[in-house]
Structure 1
């Protein structure tokens, strides 16, 4: 077994506005043995997420890779942990870019400053892939993203196993605004930053991500500070002046506890679009230059122009308030996405026919306060290691039930993601933070959040979350062959479309109940 300890190269993921930016470090796994590679215990720069990658994404790896890490706070070494190689580059043009690498799924290990690794190929005909390396991501501190509106950035696959990786600097075009404004420091005493006890009767007062956030006592989080949502303007996109929570929240703080669901009805549902393949621009609207979305659908960006558009202004009725039209979703700016990583504008589907549910693997021991850091690290890994244009999943949910925007382009738009090989061109991907294959169990808050989010996303396209749909596989997936008609649930697990254990046994077994909950969700069409 050949061992090598290469110097860790690091590279900032992008500008940080004074905060510590995410960084990608790499360690080469060189050697002459075609079947084995190893790295002895080696000190590194601090990282919190790790994976293995290689030069050619077309080379699949049949074998095992195990790593151990040293905790930065205690100096203790973990046990050996397996990496998952059930990852394929997108079947779309994104997966054909020259700097797309083959890679394992990333593994969240928490703040670490040392690593040990061993990689062994299986079978007589299998060899270790060329240019094998360890990829280690430091998520940094919260980075206030500078949105570049799809302008060329510095992201894809640029990390190299040297002390000076080939970074390409970029100047972002401008700041990406958050979907909610922070509470003013001189806020009156009767409008505290936590969930108000004297909130108006038409504003939900619970901390559930599907309504107005604010309560940080629930779920599994530990001490996550809440951020008050901004007031939803009526017929305007200007900056609100009143920090009072709105009935249409736009951002939820991690660590909230969803225990109640709103009972009022959404204000409308856009008209379905056609069902053909993805396009690079919405047929009836330009691709957004600002990746920060509105959590309220303004129009269906695919297919024929709708005859009516969901109103952002409450109806004329004075007997009942208008319910939120979308679950609360933490924006990319809210979790600190570095928009300079994203090189190209998003592509769009004509319709979202299905939602695929995933898990991120890694650990279930994270605090919900760490959810933004985990997502920042995954973004950096997907771009800097995999070489993708942006983070793969359309949405994330954590164990406290907080929903986060994933890939840029608009949460209410049918953004083409990179999550379910063979079916990306028909679907949206929701990934639950944690590992649900080796003993983890999804919380009630997480299942409710997935159900509400899937019901809302499918409802934008007139799709029932309890129905079935037949889709044509765009590639050989190990479950379906290219061109085969695949009949799937409109809320399916990753393993239904691709040969993988994802989303894990316990989350997969929870999907029937999630479908039922989604069918009765206030965000489902007709409820």
Structure 2
């Protein structure tokens, strides 16, 4: 897996927006990320593209303000050129720092709105090649189903890290809490147009961005769910254990972060995805004696711009990222679905658990 960072130099545009054209160039895959390469910048007109040999499938545009802990995100319009066919995708609006799944591509255009006619200083385009899917790994036997708290279900099927091709390089040991008090639901804020067969590659791309752009030791989420309802094990440390992730600043300990792949600001998450989230929440909370309905008091471990360190916050057992952080995540549409997710997870006669 390779991540390449391209520093973009601020320039002034006559038309009020900036067109940045970047062509991916490279030879054989390297063990370490290649050094940053130059990019072609134009203010208008046809893009100048280099012949690309190293494709990418995911990208993120970031300025210092977009990076974790920054004061806010910029908005960019992007499109990518499909590798092989040469067809350009439609323009898509992305928030700074958010991943965008383009599929196998060899060039990308970025338009940055610039109120003063120039790019913010330090804007960077990160292109990720998630690499091929791993060789088939023999599936581990599913743990025997066991009873948990009233209304909770048995362990859902979870794709382990080895089967989606997680990077398992040396790193810090996992950090554990003592409980799973709440589940925070996120969306990855990328395109919903991905094929579910690409989901393992999408998860590898998310891990690469979290590690190499955000500077985290691993994927931030504890679990990732695709639109077809497949659940992927996220941060290393053991599925079912209270692994402390990096998903909800100030509230990572004793909680789980579950991200649904896609952008659900206007479009609802598919029922397969919400059912998977409900099943996962019922199981994860139930293991520690908690039902998925009701509320819990959490204490902010650090200040996050919305709550100060040590502040006590009461949230639903299954909450959205926005409930404790200044963000629109998990999107307006998915956030409106959370009461139904809680109800579904709490119903012992739900189809999730075999029906009536």
Same fold (TM over 0.5): yes
Question: Is 2:127 aligned against 1:118?
Answer: no
- Which SS does the other structure have where 1:486 is aligned? strand
- Residues 62, 516 of structure 1: CA spacing in aligned structure 2 closer, same or farther, 3 A cutoff? closer
Does the 8 Å CA contact 1:61/1:128 hold for their aligned counterparts?
A: no
Question: Is 2:85 aligned against 1:74?
Answer: yes
- Residues 8, 69 of structure 1: CA spacing in aligned structure 2 closer, same or farther, 3 A cutoff? closer
Question: Is 2:160 aligned against 1:331?
Answer: yes
- Residues 30, 7 of structure 1: CA spacing in aligned structure 2 closer, same or farther, 3 A cutoff? closer
- Larger Rg computed on CA atoms: 1
> What does 1:40-51 align with in structure 2 at a 5 Å threshold?
40=47, 42-43=49-50, 44=52, 45-51=54-60
Q: Which runs of 5+ in 2 are unaligned?
A: 1-10, 13-18
How far is 1:46 from its partner?
A: 0.9
How far is 1:343 from its partner?
A: 1.9
From 78, 84, 93, the equivalent of 2:95 is: 84
Separation of aligned partners in 2, 1:446 and 1:58: 29
> What does 1:214-363 align with in structure 2 at a 5 Å threshold?
229-231=139-141, 248=144, 266-267=146-147, 325-340=154-169, 343-363=171-191
Separation of aligned partners in 1, 2:190 and 2:263: 6
Separation of aligned partners in 1, 2:307 and 2:114: 26
Separation of aligned partners in 2, 1:347 and 1:71: 40
2:121 match: 129
- Which SS does the other structure have where 1:471 is aligned? strand
How far is 1:5 from its partner?
A: 6.5
- Residues 360, 9 of structure 1: CA spacing in aligned structure 2 closer, same or farther, 3 A cutoff? same
How far is 1:510 from its partner?
A: 0.7
- Residues 133, 42 of structure 1: CA spacing in aligned structure 2 closer, same or farther, 3 A cutoff? farther
Does the 8 Å CA contact 2:285/2:291 hold for their aligned counterparts?
A: yes
- Which SS does the other structure have where 2:237 is aligned? coil
How far is 1:520 from its partner?
A: 2.0
Separation of aligned partners in 1, 2:25 and 2:183: 38
Separation of aligned partners in 2, 1:499 and 1:438: 19
Separation of aligned partners in 2, 1:127 and 1:7: 19
- Which SS does the other structure have where 2:272 is aligned? helix
- Residues 122, 4 of structure 1: CA spacing in aligned structure 2 closer, same or farther, 3 A cutoff? closer
Give a deviation string over 1:363-391, Cα, whole Å, max 9, x none. Answer: 22222111111111111111122221001
How far is 1:129 from its partner?
A: 3.5
- Which SS does the other structure have where 2:95 is aligned? coil
More helix by share: 2
Separation of aligned partners in 2, 1:493 and 1:390: 22
How far is 1:490 from its partner?
A: 0.8
Give a deviation string over 1:184-207, Cα, whole Å, max 9, x none. Answer: xxxxxxxxxxxxxxxxxxxxxxxx
From 340, 346, 350, the equivalent of 1:513 is: 340
- Residues 61, 469 of structure 1: CA spacing in aligned structure 2 closer, same or farther, 3 A cutoff? closer
- Residues 476, 230 of structure 1: CA spacing in aligned structure 2 closer, same or farther, 3 A cutoff? closer
Does the 8 Å CA contact 1:49/1:110 hold for their aligned counterparts?
A: yes
How far is 1:399 from its partner?
A: 1.4
- Residues 512, 401 of structure 1: CA spacing in aligned structure 2 closer, same or farther, 3 A cutoff? same
1:139 match: 130
> What does 1:92-107 align with in structure 2 at a 5 Å threshold?
104-107=97-100
- Residues 483, 519 of structure 1: CA spacing in aligned structure 2 closer, same or farther, 3 A cutoff? same
1:474 match: 301
Q: Which runs of 5+ in 1 are unaligned?
A: 16-22, 86-103, 145-177, 182-228, 233-246, 249-264, 270-322
> What does 1:440-519 align with in structure 2 at a 5 Å threshold?
441-519=268-346
How far is 1:355 from its partner?
A: 0.4
Aligned length: 327
Which deviates further from its counterpart, 56-65 or 417-426? 56-65
Question: Is 2:120 aligned against 1:109?
Answer: no
How far is 1:4 from its partner?
A: 7.2
Tell me how large the CA RMSD over aligned residues is: 3.5
How far is 1:395 from its partner?
A: 0.2
How far is 1:435 from its partner?
A: 1.3
Does the 8 Å CA contact 1:13/1:338 hold for their aligned counterparts?
A: no
Does the 8 Å CA contact 2:59/2:126 hold for their aligned counterparts?
A: yes
Separation of aligned partners in 2, 1:401 and 1:414: 22
Separation of aligned partners in 1, 2:48 and 2:181: 47
Scaled by the length of structure 1, the TM-score of the pair is 0.55
